Chain A
Amino acid sequence: MKTLDKAADALEAFIEWTGRFTSWIILALVLLIAIQVLLRYTISLGAVWAQELEWHLLAVISLWGLSYTQKADAHVRVDIVYEKFSERTRQWIEAFSAIFIMAPMCFYFAWLSVRFVVQAYTTGEISPDPGGLTHRWILKTFLISGFALLGIQCVAHALRNIALILNGGKGDQHADE
């Protein structure tokens, strides 16, 4: 059980790091758009690549944020019935769904995206707008990494709940935040 928790700790530490990093991209996004608006309004200055960077950043934020959000247990659920289950039942539901639903779904999404990225890579896809961003395959890899990271967090979630179940339902100090 200690081993399971240790493994979960390690995975979650990694997710925590990627999430903290990603959160700063939001500030970059706010400043990027605000500065563009002000420059355009005041001195009619703008660049195609900077406009494209806006939704590039959205992709990074939304995809890399998924795992951090799972770690914070902030993906919504309908808890009308769930609330009424015993602690033990909930642990079983969590372990079961993490192993058979959440993690497989994430890795399936990531795996599907590989071919999509390869297609962009082999054709050397760039923006169709002159002055736009190049290397579009890099942007597309965030589909793979985003869902893979979420899958890793789901594995950590499974480990924690298995540990809890094996431990007779009692968590140690590392229970999910």
Chain B
Amino acid sequence: QQTFNFKMTTTWPAGTPYYQSGPGSAEAFAKRVEDMSNGRLKIKVYAAGELVPAFEGFDAASAGIVEMNHGVSYYWAGKTFAAQYFATVPFGMSFMGHHAWLYHGGGIDLWNEVYKPFNVVAMPVGCSGVQMTGWFKKPVESVSDFNGLKMRIPGLAGRMYADLGVDVKLLPGGEIFPALERGVIDAAEWVGPYLDRRLGLQNAAKYYYTTGWHEPATTSEIVINQGAWDKLPKDLQAIVRAAADATNQEGLLWLDAKNGEALSDMVDNFDVKIARLPDDVIKALRESARTTLEDAAAKDPMVKKVHESFFNFKKNHDKWNQISETTFQTTVR
């Protein structure tokens, strides 16, 4: 039987839990594929910078120089804005709804349609759940507190904060801590309790705001070069899909388990104060997110197609979610 050796680059620093190493990670996915295929498909995983820098793996997979890349689709928003939607949508849906859309609302099909020009096949492989707003040096009580606030916030959310008057700062991972600690920036966003604690952000700022309106269901992806994918026999393709699904679930649940412990630790032992974004701030951000996405949809037919698919699905799902999940969380629990 033919065996295959694939190379997979990732956007993650070596050793990063959940993303690169350990349960739910790129390495866990590769190991699972190898085990399930009894060694017929071996995937060698390279961390960011090992073969190519963090954000170059997508192009490498697209050109067929490596077979796979593990990352998050919103990193490629500069190549095609529609990619933003498959990772997560500001004020979109949490894991349940987002993945319901991906798997059963046409999301994955659209994803592959958007990536067709890039010559890659995509599938979800992990989900961080609802992230956190981020770390603030001082409490923020109203929209006006955001005016002139200096915040490390990359990507689409930066645009929405900028609408509130936030001075958006881009910083590499390693400079976030010193900059926040010394007050060069007033706030910083990373992921959630477990991964944030790993960066030591609880030592740099004490106000930890919820909720991750900007990243309610951040979903990792693998992309596979079309040619490499087509060469795989049907059973190996099925194994790759099954391994991706299994890793997706494993990562979500593992991180959810860890986040609870990390949050309690930071509150109990590091004097971290949990706070919720004020309603008027949420309202202003929601308005900004709506217009930003609608503007983008108006400009590009592909974005429009994905946008409408997502929000049409959301309309129905929200109603159901309201009477099931939300009711349970707010009145029963």
Contact = CB atoms under 8 A, between A and B. Distances in A.
Interface residues of B, number: 26
Contacts of A132: 78
A44 B169 CA distance: 11
A63 B80 CA distance: 28
A89 interface: no
B148 interface: yes
B150 A40 contact: yes
Contacts of A125: 78-79
A45 B167 CA distance: 6
Given A46-B168, A46-B169, A123-B117, A131 B63 contact: no
B158 A128 contact: no
B293 to A, nearest CB: 11
Interface string B146-158: 0011100011101
Contacts of B77: 128
A171 B170 CA distance: 53
A116 to B, nearest CB: 8
A125 B78 CA distance: 5
A168 interface: no
A73 interface: no
Given A128-B76, A128-B155, A44 B63 contact: no
Interface in B315-333: none
A44 B78 contact: no
Interface string A130-168: 111000100000000000000000000000000000000
B162 A136 contact: no
Contacts of B74: 128
Interface string B224-248: 0000000000000000000000000
Contacts of B155: 128-130
A129 B150 contact: no
Given A123-B79, A123-B117, A125-B79, A130 B156 contact: yes
Interface of B: 59, 62-63, 74-80, 117-118, 148-150, 154-156, 158-159, 162, 167-170, 292
